[in-house]
A and B are shown apart, each in its own frame.
Chain A
Amino acid sequence: MAHFTRGFTGRPRRGGNDRLPPGQYDTGESWPTLTAELTPTIDVDEWTMAVDGLVDTPTTWDWRGIHALPPSSYFGDIHCVTTWSKFDTTFSGVSVDALLDVAGVKPEATHVFATSTTGYTTNLPLADVTGGKAWIVWDFDGKPLPPEHGGPVRLLVPHLYFWKSAKWITRLELRDHDEPGFWERNGYHDRGDPWLEQRYQGDA
């Protein structure tokens, strides 16, 4: 379907913004929210984060414990499958590598399955959350992450569409196989690379 839409020119834009993946637009200052469920109220005094499954030492951190790990920040862009991208965001927390270092990943682990307090799940190849590519974050732009954006703590995997960055994260389970999570079962792509436009099942 190569022909264009009659009468559509689009919003004025600067040519060739190479930070915008195909089909995305710059949402500017705003930060849309998109969730499938109600925003939970989470008390940080009761919050915990577990790493288990195919690890040497299944480990659970509480709020204080996770803050005692070496801090790590992400500065850069984020991309949502609903077509907005947000440039120059700053998130702070810890690198997922730091958690996996403590727990010790078994050689047979190939995937992680992230779970939130609400039961939301999402699946990721291990390689997509290691090597400085993923974080557990609690600050956005120097302030506590708001609940509607996953606060107090969410997963951040900025090189994939944002549904992979599970809000209200509470557990990462290491597995030796892949299994679709919530949106993946409900029609979204298994991996979700914005540069390859892997939005829905059936995309390359």
Chain B
Amino acid sequence: MSDLTQETTSAVASSWTTGTVREVEHLGENFVKLRLEVADRHDHVPGQHYVVRLRAPDGYTAQRSYSIASDPADPLVELMVECLPRGEVSGFLHDVVEVGDELEVRGPIGRWFVWGGTTPSLCVAGGSGVVPFVSMMRYARRTGTEHLLRVVASAQTRQKLPYVEELEEFGAFIALTRENQPLPDGSERVAAHIYPDELVPLAEGVERAYVCGSVGFVSFVGRSLGEAGVRSDTVRVEQFGPTG
């Protein structure tokens, strides 16, 4: 962690505000995309997250963090939530929330796992870990800095990778672990985790790597990045998912 320079001086929103749900889209069985209109909104930097707080009639509250998928210039804040079995907050956001609902939100939060559009970077995502990178990709496209961002996304199947079309359009490298994939040259990538060999060309010339996914995924990718020659002190990590 040698590079502690801040890419942003944006203040963390210090108070809770209202996010009014303007769009709800269910994607497959497991994902829900929520687009919120946030009152008193502060600009975010790609990679930051919001906290969503739910409040029961008896005063009980539950709050969880969700990465922002949208570009900072998007008038709405987009979240992509994976529904976990027996998940208290994700289950509610998936099954109950409708257009017009108001959620308590706070953000944007986090100044470490952020990409300011200037550092050549490699992003490696597992499953719903793609969300912060979608914000980075959208930002890169708008500002013409795509050449500074390389994205690798891994999931069991295409179905389980949110934003898969957008990732493909961006030119992301996609690794499916339970499905063979046809490649543009007519051959096939056999279902497997990301190989260090696959990371080597992508890691060339990058000054920073971002890894986001489950605990197991992060440690696997950490080792692979090491084998691909990426220095561990250039790697920034965000972990989703339940345990470790």
Chain A residues with CB under 8 Å of chain B are 1, 3-11, 13, 22-23, 25, 30-40, 82-83, 118-120, 148, 182-183, 185-187, 200-203
Query: Which listed residue, B2, B55, B104, touches A119 by the CB 8 Å rule?
Result: B2
Q: Which residues of A contact B4 (CB under 8 A)?
A: 119, 182, 185
Q: Which residues of B contact A82 (CB under 8 A)?
A: 65
Q: Please state if B235 and A13 are interface contacts (CB–CB under 8 Å).
A: no
Chain B 230-244, CB-CB to A under 8 Å as 1, else 0, gives 001101111100111
Contacts A31-B243, A33-B244, A37-B235 given: A11-B12 contact, CB under 8 Å?
A: no
Q: Which residues of B contact A33 (CB under 8 A)?
A: 215, 239, 243-244
Contacts A7-B92, A25-B62, A32-B243 given: A185-B1 contact, CB under 8 Å?
A: no
Q: Please state if A8 and B1 are interface contacts (CB–CB under 8 Å).
A: no
User: Considering the chains assembled together, what is the distance between the CA atoms of A32 and B236 in angstroms?
Assistant: 18
- The prevalent SS among residues of A at the interface is loop
Q: Please state if A187 and B111 are interface contacts (CB–CB under 8 Å).
A: yes
Q: Please state if A83 and B14 are interface contacts (CB–CB under 8 Å).
A: no
Contacts A9-B56, A33-B239 given: A39-B233 contact, CB under 8 Å?
A: no
Q: Please state if B54 and A186 are interface contacts (CB–CB under 8 Å).
A: no
Q: Please state if B12 and A202 are interface contacts (CB–CB under 8 Å).
A: yes
| Residue of A whose beta carbon sits closest to that of B221 | A38
Q: Which residues of B contact A34 (CB under 8 A)?
A: 239
Query: Which listed residue, A11, A38, A148, A185, touches B232 by the CB 8 Å rule?
Result: A38
Q: Which residues of A contact B109 (CB under 8 A)?
A: 187, 200
Q: Please state if A5 and B65 are interface contacts (CB–CB under 8 Å).
A: no
Q: Which residues of B contact A3 (CB under 8 A)?
A: 55
Q: Please state if A5 and B104 are interface contacts (CB–CB under 8 Å).
A: yes
Q: Which residues of B contact A119 (CB under 8 A)?
A: 1-2, 4, 233
Q: Which residues of B contact A6 (CB under 8 A)?
A: 96, 101-102
Chain B 72-98, CB-CB to A under 8 Å as 1, else 0, gives 000000000000000010001000110
Q: Which residues of B contact A4 (CB under 8 A)?
A: 55-57
Q: Please state if B235 and A10 are interface contacts (CB–CB under 8 Å).
A: no
Q: Please state if A30 and B243 are interface contacts (CB–CB under 8 Å).
A: yes
Q: Please state if A182 and B110 are interface contacts (CB–CB under 8 Å).
A: no
Q: Please state if A10 and B239 are interface contacts (CB–CB under 8 Å).
A: no
